[in-house]
Structure 1
Amino acid sequence: MKPITLAEWLDYQQHIHALGVDLGLDRVRAVWQRMGSPTLARRVVTVGGTNGKGSTVAFLEAMLTAAGQRVGCYTSPHLMHYNERIRIAGVDAGDEALIDSFKRIELARGETSLTYFEFGTLAAFDLFARADLDVAVLEVGLGGRLDAVNLIDADAVVITTVDLDHVEWLGPDRDSIGREKAGIARSNRPAIVGELDPPHGLLDALALCGAHIERAGNDFHVERAAHGWRWRHRDGTALALPDPELAAPVQYANASAAIAAVHALQVIDAFELGRVAAASMHLASVPARLQSLGGDPALIVDVGHNPQAARALADWLDAEPGGRVHAVYGALSDKDVGGVMTALGPRIAHWHLASLDQDTPRGLPAAVLAGVLHQVLPRAGFDTHVDVKHALAAARASARHGERILAFGSFFVASAVLAEAAG
């Protein structure tokens, strides 16, 4: 039976390709060429990196929109609804628009098999090409060089951070992963490196491809103050800015890299850059990035799922001292669970470990998480639960007034917590 509804189309896409992840550009290029390879927008910015991509896209969207640009954003994965992945002029794509795009892709692909992610990426390209965009902002799904997003030649790229994640596809060390992420850059076009200590593999690969490299700490700088902060570029541009609404110290680096990308594109003058950058500190919003859901005990949800993200969570907890922290944690089988737990260490008073094996074939049972926790933090207290809903209920029952519940570890955890909080 042919798919009709959006849910049927998404289920169909999950089953037409043998592998869930199958990196490479040949299939998606062939289908896009059959669709005419139209131009996505007058400018394209691609954002890659291990962590911080979603927040950086949010800062870019807020700045460019404040500058009067018509902006399309493609991000993944989604939290609550698939439509979140494709946003045009601040509005998520509607079901009918997505279905119509999927029909065009299905007609063009013929016998070419596409993954679920490739289908969605082509839909974003197709809808953007029909939307008369000034700027398209594309978030890399996995890696960079062989990710479907890399089919498009970006006018500027941002590489936020490089750390160990998806090592079975990208390589066993930061240099290998950095080289893969550098693949989104193009010769004679800006490549913004948002990390203060990037791996040599990333920098060497960017230099080899002839990109115009701009590095945090070298070409542009963040200067923190008691209230607000200052962004400064080697060309003399300096901006006095309010603190970001997005929590976590790492958001200054994400905002700084986004400003550097807009500065490098030269789509607005220096005075206007200061205005829109300041506006973006208040306007940039992305769910489940240290998102406070209120209550007492307070509930905070975050999509952090690898050791680098866990270190950022640890930095935030250190900067925001408060009551005891109860963790609601679930993870996928390809993640460094021990590294995540070690990064947070004694900051977590009690762990509520949630099974995700009913949510996805890649989900880990809570018993496996418990085994890892016992190895890396043998004195840690914990309970295991059949799913996120039960883990959250147990955390709420055991946490006292003035304490905090931190739910993190996977988009599946975040989406379940947000759904539960919404009632």
Structure 2
Amino acid sequence: MTSAPANPYFFATLEAWLSHLEVAHPLGIDMSLERITLVKNALGLQITCPVITVAGTNGKGSTCAFLEAILIAAGYRVACHTSPHLLHFNERARLQGVAASDAQLLVHFAAVEEARLRVPNTPTLTYFEFTTLAILHLFAQANLDVVILEVGMGGRLDAVNIIDADCAIVTSIDIDHASFLGTTREAIAREKAGIFRAGKIAVCGDPLPPQSLIDYATSLGCDLHLSGRDFHFQGDQQQWAWSGRDKRFSGLGYPALRGANQLLNAAAALAALSALHHRLPVSAQDIRLGFATVELPGRFQVLPGRPTRIFDVAHNPHAAATLYRSLDSMGYFPYTFAVFGAMADKDIGAVLQPFISLVDYWFCTDLPTARAASALAIKAQLLALGVAEERHKDGGIRCFADPAKAYQEAVAKAGEGDRIVVFGSFYTVAGVMAYRNNLVN
């Protein structure tokens, strides 16, 4: 085990490390691989098992969860790095589906800091860069069969892209993070395709892939698998089927993850596993078991009990449209209550637009980060979209200081036959989840 030297920037707890990293680099997001690559080289970081990297505007977390569940069901030693987390940082590093402990992570935080300090003209690292290196270092020493990596933002310049992917998946492509990635699908697709590697497997699950992605994969000589060309899926009310270039799986049960686009994500995951079959063979039974047991909090997560409660981290227009379709297919509810909070840099009006006719009561919330839009700013967006502040005799739009208070009020007002939708930023869903967990504990 690596021991931390006597240095004021080594910390005894994970919480202290994370607090330090939030202010250690002058920019929260710094799109460059130069600094992290220097520290990676100083660490001697290498991952020798197959690596699957997943990018996309939406569906990344679900696709990673599908891959993880199927590969674990097949008996492989699997690690998965996702971001952001909902309740605990440790969720970002899973080994065999279990979050790494603080003790496991601290060893590798210290290792990254030791390596960073050895680099001439010592570079600073962002929170995401530093923590990604620590998690990758943990994985590199864990004797694994396969590593799954979720891109944080974009692809080409994301921290996880310091590792060469044996198979790279782009799930969906839409406008988000435009100030960093571009303002068109073509530009954004090229950024996401930056995770492709020459001669390696590339999968795109978007049914309308921009030409820029196809052209870049072709220029690299990738083995490119496109939805609708190289793999297909179809289903009825009972089951679904998937077919690829030389494999077919029929009679599949629908994944345990609910939502309008989950078959798109599941199909891309199967395309990747089919292409990797010579290195990581999985059976039809492994696939069925993986889809039946997969879990991912905050993705059209429907809680048991009444009123019906749905948690979803839909925070951009593409994800919001998908959430709307999922909600619309649920059947009749007398009233729908929405608890919503979002980051100020999101297209909040476009996120809210699909729900204007669906939601009866809006509970707008502040969030515990300077990046968030205020509840009053969200209310102004709703008013601009034509929502009446006094939509019903007991109100239509209300503002709250935090998600827990908004959720408490929604529960107090909702009848047993109604539904409550908690959506928007991860902070929104996490705030309500933490409140509910405290009630249980």
TM range (shorter): over 0.9
- 2:22 match: 14
What is the number of residues matched between the two proteins?
419
Q: Does 1:59 align with 2:74?
A: no
Separation of aligned partners in 2, 1:239 and 1:262 = 16
Per-residue CA deviations over 1:294-351 (Å, capped at 9, x if unaligned) read: 3321221111111111111111012111312110000001111011111223111111
Shift of residue 195 of structure 1?
A: 1.1
Shift of residue 245 of structure 1?
A: 0.9
Q: Which amino acid aligns with 2:319?
A: A
Alignment equivalent of 1:295, drawn from 285, 301, 305: 305
Separation of aligned partners in 1, 2:103 and 2:308 = 38
Q: Does 1:140 align with 2:151?
A: yes
Q: Does 1:384 align with 2:399?
A: yes
> Which range moves more in the overlay, 217-226 or 128-137?
217-226
Alignment equivalent of 2:243, drawn from 228, 232, 240: 232
For 1:323-362, what aligned pairs fall within 5 Å after superposition? Answer: 323=333, 324-356=335-367, 359-362=368-371
What SS does the aligned partner of 2:25 have? coil
Shift of residue 11 of structure 1?
A: 0.6
- 1:418/1:108 CA distance change after superposition, 3 Å: same
- 1:363 match: 372
What SS does the aligned partner of 1:77 have? coil
Q: Which amino acid aligns with 1:289?
A: R
- 1:286 match: 296
What SS does the aligned partner of 1:243 have? coil
What SS does the aligned partner of 2:251 have? strand
Q: Tell whether the 8 Å contact from 1:175 to 1:200 is kept in structure 2 after alignment.
A: yes
What SS does the aligned partner of 1:42 have? coil
Q: Tell whether the 8 Å contact from 2:31 to 2:158 is kept in structure 1 after alignment.
A: yes
Per-residue CA deviations over 1:85-136 (Å, capped at 9, x if unaligned) read: 0011222111112111111111111211100000111011100110011100
Separation of aligned partners in 1, 2:247 and 2:306 = 47
Alignment equivalent of 2:418, drawn from 403, 407, 418: 403
For 1:165-314, what aligned pairs fall within 5 Å after superposition? Answer: 165-267=176-278, 272-314=282-324
TM-score, normalisation: structure 1: 0.96
Separation of aligned partners in 2, 1:201 and 1:400 = 50
- 1:320 match: 330
Q: Tell whether the 8 Å contact from 1:67 to 1:268 is kept in structure 2 after alignment.
A: no
- 1:347/1:4 CA distance change after superposition, 3 Å: same
Q: CA RMSD in A?
A: 1.4
Separation of aligned partners in 2, 1:236 and 1:261 = 12
Per-residue CA deviations over 1:223-282 (Å, capped at 9, x if unaligned) read: 112201001113253333111111112111111111110111124687x43121111111
Q: Which amino acid aligns with 1:370?
A: K
Q: Tell whether the 8 Å contact from 2:247 to 2:274 is kept in structure 1 after alignment.
A: no
Shift of residue 205 of structure 1?
A: 2.4
Separation of aligned partners in 2, 1:41 and 1:418 = 37
Q: Tell whether the 8 Å contact from 2:87 to 2:430 is kept in structure 1 after alignment.
A: yes
> Which range moves more in the overlay, 386-395 or 44-53?
386-395
Structure 1, unaligned runs of 5 or more: none
Q: Tell whether the 8 Å contact from 2:260 to 2:323 is kept in structure 1 after alignment.
A: no
Separation of aligned partners in 2, 1:348 and 1:147 = 36
Shift of residue 377 of structure 1?
A: 3.4
